[in-house]
Structure 1
Amino acid sequence: MEPLGDRLELLDLKVLFTQDGAWRHGTVLPLKSRADDALLAGGSVQHTIVVRRTGMDVAWFEGDRWYHDLVAPARPGIATSPVDDPTAAASLPSDHPIAAIPLAHRGGQTVSILHGTATMLAGAMAVHRRLRTGGVFWCAGDIAWTVTQFHGIYGPLAHGDTVVMYEGTLDQPSQTRAWDIVARYGVESMVTTPSVVRTVRGWARELPEVSELPSLRRVTTAGEPVDDELRSWLGQAFASREVDVVDAWGQLELGGIVQVAGGGGDDVDAVPDCGVDIVDAAGMPVAEGEAGEVILRLPWAGTMVGIEGPQAAIADAHWTRHPGSYATGDLAVRRANGRMDFLGRTDDVVSISGQLVSLPEVREVLADHPFVEVAAVASRKDPDLGRSLVAAVSLSAEVGPDPDLDGVAVELMDTVREVMGGLARPRAVLVLDRFGGGLGQLELSRAMALLATPDRAGTPRRVTWEQVVAAAGQ
């Protein structure tokens, strides 16, 4: 519960909302219990508001309140205080914070960005005009994903659309759940990540009984690049006629999506122009086919309004690197058809299934484990997630002279998952005899990705430093 405790301490909250529990992968997660554990470290929280969702037993402490008790109407005959209407909306400035969202690792510091209420809604509503087709709208993504919060809930509701929300994962109670949701509610437009689409495609190969879904008209992918093969499959898999498939790009600091490409329809240019360009280190536009950093030359309404935590590095990264423009930190190349292909980040952060994961933070978690002497982390292409992590470690004397490498790998992977979540969990662990010299970070990362490819059996496996050097030269 360390990450949640750190977040609570950073935000200086007075009230925390949670549930007794929540369903995921067919089991119940004890959310109230986890919140209680995080609050044991202290902090400013005075009241915990609990939604009764599963009916499971929960511990009760001073300051805990049931949500249904707080919103229950007063019983007839009980006097109420002569105050203003408690249901009236509060009058707040347009940039009053509506969300504080943590960034991936920033030099060992916990940093969150703040989004304003009206500013975020302005961006979300402008983008929603491009994502919708007029009917029921569904964002098939985790609620922690910024796109789900802003473009799956706030934007469509502010626009007056009907929104589908679901609990759990798309493989429970069966792997037909995505089809079932679209069919049951007549979903016309949906947003999701390419990783979710890859997973559903794998299920579809084993589900010949899945029916066509004529209601679905448009699917938007966001959070990571989508390849042409996956885009083609997606355009034909769910419906009796070809679906309009569009590709969206944005980032957390900008409030989610800011650009939508592909597809057809009269609203293809509905998203306001944010002046997207690709430039070199000097801020000059690069030629077609050359890699550079993506910048925004025009203001965007949904841009963050503040930062919680150390601010100097964040301000420098976004606003001072290319004066007069917003520097995103994303690397991309522009193709002949005008489409941008994203290549990664300028920092040690990688997008996995639409979520940013910090390589230094994963490395620190591994290095803090008593089994590990030295650790390194790299990313590689992944057929399911788009990209995933691979770790290389040299072991400490704590594991003994003849350790069970499978057991060690599982222990290290589970430790990362416990601290940082499942997407940060390395998919493979290489055990090195030592970390030598002669390789830069890029060379080491390339060698790790090559040695830990899925078609190489024996992961976790023992690897010598000489093998790493040889792989870096391939």
Structure 2
Amino acid sequence: MRELSEDRRTVLARWASAAEQLTWAQPPRAVAEGEEGRVDWFPGGTLNLAVNAVHRHVPTHADRIALHWEGEPGDRRDVTYGELDREVTALADALVASGLVTGDRVALHVGLVPEAVVALLACFRIGAVPAIVPAVLPADALTDRLADLRPRVLVTQDGAWRHGVVLPLKSRADEALTGTGTVEQTIVIRRTGIPVPWFDGDRWYDELIASPRPGSSAGSRSSPVAVASDHPSLITHLPNRAGVPVGVVHGSAGLATVVGEIHRSITGSPTDVVWVPAELAWLASQSHGILGPLLNAGTTVVFEGMLDTPSHRRAWEIIARYAVRTVLVTPSVIRALRSWVGNGPTPDQVGSLRRIVTAGEAMDEDTERWLTSTVGHDRAAVVNAWGQTELGGAIAFPATDDGPAPPDPGLRVEAPDGTRVAVGEVGDLVLRHPWPATALGVLRGESIDDTFPLFRNGALVTGDRARVAADGELELLGRSDRVFTVAGQLVSADAIALALTDHPFVARAMVVDRPDSTTGRAVVAVVQACDRPADEELARELQEHVRELLGGLSQPRSVVFLDRFPDAEDPRLLPALRRLASPSHVVAHLHVRQVTAAMASVADPELDT
């Protein structure tokens, strides 16, 4: 990737052309209004995302497969556009009959099952605002997430398959609901058949879509709601420096325009079979695994569970079974696949594959070589993409030989005063061109705070550090805040530290990230214990404590016990701890003298990692 190359007029013309690919109830009066900073995209326009993703394709593509779905136990289902149209409409009618109105929020605590996609699209149809909550979220964290979202409806499952075991989603949801009072109805998808408790307001998904709306005649259909371009479409959560996840709110027209155009740029053909093997709560799964293909009348693969169940070769079997042409995946998944099956797939298993797109974290050269030669057999292009949740997913990547160049976001490396930094110097990665899928802001109760993302000197500040190499390529150096990527997902170091200090036997804690051959980065906790021996038993207790509060990705790989922290605050402390801490052992010990000696050798805290 390189710094910006196109002028603003060219970029806006590209977005005008992309917007013409959508079906509008009311066309916008302009592509964008506003000169610098936050821009009003497609003002005056109205549209419906379900119409664009499903309903408009039915007259010509009713029998085309929209979703190939594969469950972890091996059950499979193909869903055509005609079938998706009918089920989305039925669920939307049921939601309206229950009293849901445009702008209401719906929490989806689900795994990757077809009904989850239907629920997402049904929300779009009626103008409700969905938020997908990770299925693996512990009950306490789920309580906090629901309290932040304030949904009127919760969609969940009786249970979800993961690694051959059933996660009790409904039971977790019931426990979480005791801490929030906004949910009026819980819709339960039958997936595993496990018994679940039942309460007032609980409804089975299959019964809900099978029954007509009260007072309506059989076969009647509610109309899709045309919403304004900036109507909220999705809410996704991000960790932040304060340690509390924030709900990022995305608009409608801008997100649809960008996701549709990125799909056309990143695939060889808009109707190629695409697969994003990742949790549905990751925005890239929603943007590039669901919306991108469906907006272009394409086909996507949806799979449940983990790639190592029932066998380590499941990924290659899925690619072969559904003739997948484009895969978007995190480098962590690739490294895990390599550790399981180092010899890779046979050429016949991946004969359909033409694009392997990596996103979510940096790709190392060794893994990229293995991906190119052993997986792609030098026939599939390996494309390393960069993006952010607050920008709608993956947005910047090199052009491929047989696809259109991606839209130019205007990447540039700048100093805080807005001037370009010299080649080789570190600065802030910013977007100089306005970006249609930029988040509207973050949740603040019932309102949206539009001071996030941050704009400075007319540019959007991404929060990433970067420098320009001698050959003109951008070198991404990670976050400037205390957030880092583990297995393609962002985790907050401050949130983990807060969870650790909540433990009664922890006096103080700091968290650092270290390189890891499988997940990219590993979490290492540096802890000053109190009132108890600093031993392996306490280390494992602290690991479990964090996992229960924040989930598995935030669990420290290693706990390093420090006799005491240095007395004075010093910016060299974190780089010193990074040097000394290792994720290779569950428990380790350091003395403050070792830390102060390491601090003395840190020349520049900004560059020392």
Settle same-fold status: TM greater than 0.5: yes
Which residue of structure 2 aligns with residue 303 of structure 1?
Answer: 438
AA partner of residue 593 (structure 2): E
- Contact 2:233–2:250 at 8 Å: present in 1 too? yes
Q: Distance in 1 between matches of 2:288 and 2:305?
A: 19
Which residue of structure 2 aligns with residue 417 of structure 1?
Answer: 547
Which residue of structure 1 aligns with residue 368 of structure 2?
Answer: 231
AA partner of residue 167 (structure 1): E
Q: Deviations over 1:142-195 (max 9, x none)?
A: 112111111111111111111000000100001001111101111110100011
Q: Distance in 1 between matches of 2:434 and 2:345?
A: 48
Q: Secondary structure at the match of 2:325?
A: strand
Change (3 A) 1:187 1:305: same
Q: Distance in 1 between matches of 2:433 and 2:386?
A: 16
Please tell me whether residue 355 in structure 1 is matched to residue 485 in structure 2: no
1:470 aligned residue (597, 601, 605): 597
Percent same amino acid among aligned pairs?
A: 41
- Contact 2:345–2:375 at 8 Å: present in 1 too? no
- Contact 2:441–2:452 at 8 Å: present in 1 too? no
Which residue of structure 1 aligns with residue 190 of structure 2?
Answer: 52
AA partner of residue 464 (structure 2): D
Change (3 A) 1:206 1:145: same
1:319 aligned residue (440, 454, 472): 454
Give 5+ residue unaligned stretches, structure 1.
Answer: none
Q: Distance in 2 between matches of 1:381 and 1:240?
A: 28
The size of the alignment, in residue pairs, is: 461
AA partner of residue 390 (structure 2): E
The 5 Å alignment of 1:37-436 reads 37-74=175-212, 80-81=215-216, 85-107=220-242, 109-134=244-269, 135-205=272-342, 212-261=349-398, 264-269=400-405, 271-309=406-444, 318-320=453-455, 322-397=456-531, 399=532, 402=533, 405-436=535-566
Q: Distance in 1 between matches of 2:197 and 2:243?
A: 33
- Contact 1:215–1:239 at 8 Å: present in 2 too? no
Q: Distance in 2 between matches of 1:2 and 1:291?
A: 40
Structure 1 residue 348, shift from structure 2 partner: 1.2
2:581 aligned residue (452, 458, 461): 452
Q: Distance in 1 between matches of 2:345 and 2:214?
A: 62
Q: Secondary structure at the match of 2:453?
A: helix
Change (3 A) 1:82 1:91: farther
AA partner of residue 215 (structure 1): S
AA partner of residue 376 (structure 1): M
Q: Secondary structure at the match of 2:280?
A: coil
Provide TM-score, normalisation by structure 2. Answer: 0.72
- Contact 2:411–2:429 at 8 Å: present in 1 too? yes
AA partner of residue 156 (structure 1): P
Change (3 A) 1:91 1:80: same
- Contact 1:373–1:396 at 8 Å: present in 2 too? yes
Q: Distance in 1 between matches of 2:453 and 2:214?
A: 54
Structure 1 residue 95, shift from structure 2 partner: 2.2
Q: Secondary structure at the match of 1:140?
A: coil
Provide TM-score, normalisation by structure 1. Answer: 0.91
Q: Deviations over 1:213-254 (max 9, x none)?
A: 211111000011112222121112224443101111111111
- Contact 1:377–1:389 at 8 Å: present in 2 too? yes
Give 5+ residue unaligned stretches, structure 2.
Answer: 1-138, 602-609
- Contact 1:223–1:354 at 8 Å: present in 2 too? yes
- Contact 2:386–2:396 at 8 Å: present in 1 too? yes
AA partner of residue 225 (structure 1): A
Greater length-normalized contact order (CA 8 Å, ≥ 6 residues apart): 2
Structure 1 residue 448, shift from structure 2 partner: 2.4
Which has the larger displacement, 227-236 or 245-254?
A: 227-236
Structure 1 residue 73, shift from structure 2 partner: 4.8
Q: Distance in 2 between matches of 1:191 and 1:471?
A: 40
